[in-house]
Amino acid sequence: MPDPAAPVDYTAWVRPLQGTASQFNFSHGNCLPLVSRPFGMVAFTPQTDEGRWIFHSANRKLQGVRATHQPSPWIADYGHFTLMPQVGERFLGASARASVYRDEEMCVKPHYMQVFLRRYMTMMEMAATERCARFRFTFPKETGRIILEPFQGDSSLTIEPENGIVTGYTRANSGGVPDNYATYIVAVLDRPMTGHGLFQGKEVHEGETQRSGDRVGAYVEFPTEENSVVEMKVATSFISVEQAWRNLEREIGDNDYEAVKREGERVWNGMLGRFEIEGASEEQLATFTTCLYRALLFPHRWHEPDADGNPHHFSPYDGQLHPGVLYADNGFWDTHRTVYPFLSLFYPEEYQEIIRGWVQACKEGGWTPRWPSPGYRSCMISTHLDAVIADAFVKGFRDFDVEAAYQALRRDAFETGDAEENTGRKGIVEFDEMGYVPADKYHHSVSCTLDYAYNDYCIAEMAKALGHEEDVRHLRERATYYRNVYDPSVGFMRGRNADGSWREPFDEFEWGGPYVEGSAWQCSWAVPHDPAGLIALAGGPEAFAAVLDRMLALPPEFHVGSYGSEIHEMAEMAHAKFGQYAHSNQPVHHVLYLYSCAGQPWKAQYWVRRVLDELYGSGPDGFPGDEDNGEMSCWYLLSALGIFPLCPGHPTYVLGNPLFPKATVRLSNGQTLTVIGEGNSRENVYVQRVTRDGEPYRRTWIAHEDLMRGGELTFVMGAQPNETPSRPEDLPFSLSTEADGGAPDHGSAE
């Protein structure tokens, strides 16, 4: 019997192998078995491939443990290197040195991993801290060897055999860094070396102690007895070797492997333990907790402690050392939707620091980053840090340089970014002058038009509170420009040329062209800031809901369009049996909740429950598509709690239907929020009525500040849909209905 007084070990519920059956043509993105600390600067993952899909659950051979910063396989890794133990004949390259392993002899948890390498009859264990790791190897009787190998790029390593130390750096990167960028490495063995060497590819320099050049790796050797336990400490820094030593001293010091592992378990349990789920199956509990773990891995902390313990950081924007915090590795086109709203509710302290870090990035680089990984990168479209920062602002977070933040957002709206599209919004001049981004001049023109309109709405919300009235007028007008690309003759958002004509021919199943990662079916809904206006375009709530019905009923047909061949999102849509509702990617992530805006919340309830039940799990296949820095996971977490942030930038959440009979959340302000799904079961998916602290609650949405005061939110569930239509005036916000009454009140239940 477990001791009921013993603290719950939430890490035991995490299945880091979730979604790791992932590859280029059927991708779960960065679903990696990452060992780290929450928002840690570096993570460690078992590696089965040197490429971007670093680990696949079905690949039987491990090449080592990779220190990684990769936020997405589509963005690729930087500052990465691999460690691998070995005995016997020397094979240094990744494929040549790989060892077979058995599933039941590998265990990965958020804070540690262990695997028995059968080729070498050697146990490898490692436990991570924020910037370092402690390895423990158990060797058989033979000469033990440890290989440290960075990836392509300028590097330098120095070996001190008598002290058991390897130090150096790698400049391996995939862009977004200044010329003086490097990841510094310190590795400390617990004994002197009896053999060592440096290598570059097949070229081996036995006995050498210093070498610089492309991809210099090291191997070190020492005698071992049967079951010899050898420990090694590894530290990283973006500042210097000296800073890596400081990180090692502060984070590991004299702590052995077991102590580092225990500390990691304590830290992770402190974060994972804020949610208490009752009435869930074991599989649901594992899925929820694993999604929670994935929600807490990104963005990565980029600051390090200075000599006094205060944060400072190397800037990937200007190559200088700055005081204060900085974060990196995020795609805001994805993460603004769910990750930041989730963190704002349940991890507000960490969230506040992250927002401060992003504002710092704007100050150092002059522009908001679109896909910081670690600095400016060109990927996806628009400038969604606008939505992230405005959302923090309207929720009352102020511990950042508000004026500097506003000026950076304003620049996104009104100035032209660089030619490589690392910054700014392409076609912003035409958008401003013509009211849309012209399809014959710019790729992704429809998606850009919709996203610019939404981001402008978000900036306007901030401008309003700061008293920039001229900006408010201009931005709110532009927030309606989504209407300029709606073609009533086809019933979709459609590419529009500079002369005002529609792009020909129209094919509702054609991906790309004016749409980003989708067709008209996936990309016509990106108007989270004005659902009433979007519904009016379709001819009213009934007609709009009928379009959503059709979306879910259609076959998953797609034409490859400007992509030229099938991309993984197409394959995943076809695989998922949800028609044109392609949950494997972000453009549709708010769409089921639009049913609630159209007066038919019971349809949202039906489909949301099906997505939760059918598309997510805790095993290697248990993920619907690319995990984009926690976005896909936070969709699950928020939906399972019965709330969804339809429009980040407005401090409200649409009500859905909770997955569990009871979820208790310990909020960091000391309050407790309890979400009850009374009578919840596989059949009882429909909300009959809602109460807030025992009183009837008739709104279809709830304010951020209302959730933060804790208390009880009860959904009474049943097997039959409650088809009482919600009223359009129940919408929390709408450009279309706000004009007369000014700002909507964000208040509590009526």
Contacts with Ca ion by CB under 5 A lie at: 585, 626, 628
Whichever of 13 and 521 has its CB closer to Ca ion, that residue is 521
Do 67 and 46 contact (CB within 8 A), yes or no? no
Whichever of 129 and 330 has its CB closer to Ca ion, that residue is 330
Whichever of 130 and 572 has its CB closer to Ca ion, that residue is 572
Residue 10 Cα to chain centre, angstroms: 21
Do 398 and 391 contact (CB within 8 A), yes or no? no
Half-sphere exposure of residue 466, counting CA atoms within 13 Å on the CB side? 23
Q: How many residues does the chain have?
A: 750
Whichever of 129 and 585 has its CB closer to Ca ion, that residue is 585
Whichever of 510 and 628 has its CB closer to Ca ion, that residue is 628
Whichever of 510 and 626 has its CB closer to Ca ion, that residue is 626
Closest distance between Ca ion and the C-beta of residue 640, in Å?
Answer: 20
Whichever of 145 and 337 has its CB closer to Ca ion, that residue is 337
Three-state DSSP at 714 gives: strand
Residue 690 Cα to chain centre, angstroms: 31
Unique residue bearing structure tokens 């409650």: 722
Torsions phi, psi of 30, nearest 5? -90, 35
- Contacts (Cβ under 8 Å, ≥6 apart) of 736: 530, 532, 533, 536
Closest distance between Ca ion and the C-beta of residue 591, in Å?
Answer: 15
Residue 512 Cα to chain centre, angstroms: 23
Closest distance between Ca ion and the C-beta of residue 423, in Å?
Answer: 21
Closest distance between Ca ion and the C-beta of residue 47, in Å?
Answer: 23
Whichever of 451 and 628 has its CB closer to Ca ion, that residue is 628
Unique residue bearing structure tokens 């919840």: 680
Whichever of 381 and 545 has its CB closer to Ca ion, that residue is 381
| Interatomic CA distance for residues 269 and 274, integer angstroms | 9
| Interatomic CA distance for residues 278 and 132, integer angstroms | 36
Closest distance between Ca ion and the C-beta of residue 146, in Å?
Answer: 37
Bin 345: left if φ > 0, else alpha if -120 < ψ < 50, else beta. Answer: alpha
Helix (H) / strand (E) containing 222: strand 217-224
The two three-digit tokens of residue 383, written as one number? 């400038």
- Nearest alpha-carbon partner for 639 in 608, 614, 664: 608
Closest distance between Ca ion and the C-beta of residue 27, in Å?
Answer: 9
Burial of 358 (0-12, 13-18, 19+ CB in 10 A): buried
Whichever of 221 and 572 has its CB closer to Ca ion, that residue is 572
Half-sphere exposure of residue 369, counting CA atoms within 13 Å on the CB side? 28
Closest distance between Ca ion and the C-beta of residue 560, in Å?
Answer: 17
CA angle (368 as vertex; 364, 373 as ends), nearest 5: 80
| Interatomic CA distance for residues 19 and 616, integer angstroms | 9
| Interatomic CA distance for residues 62 and 397, integer angstroms | 45
Do 168 and 160 contact (CB within 8 A), yes or no? no
Taking CB positions, which residue lies at the least distance from Ca ion? Answer: 626
Q: What is the DSSP letter of 703?
A: E
Beta-carbon neighbour count of residue 337 at 10 Å? 29
Closest distance between Ca ion and the C-beta of residue 647, in Å?
Answer: 19
Whichever of 471 and 628 has its CB closer to Ca ion, that residue is 628
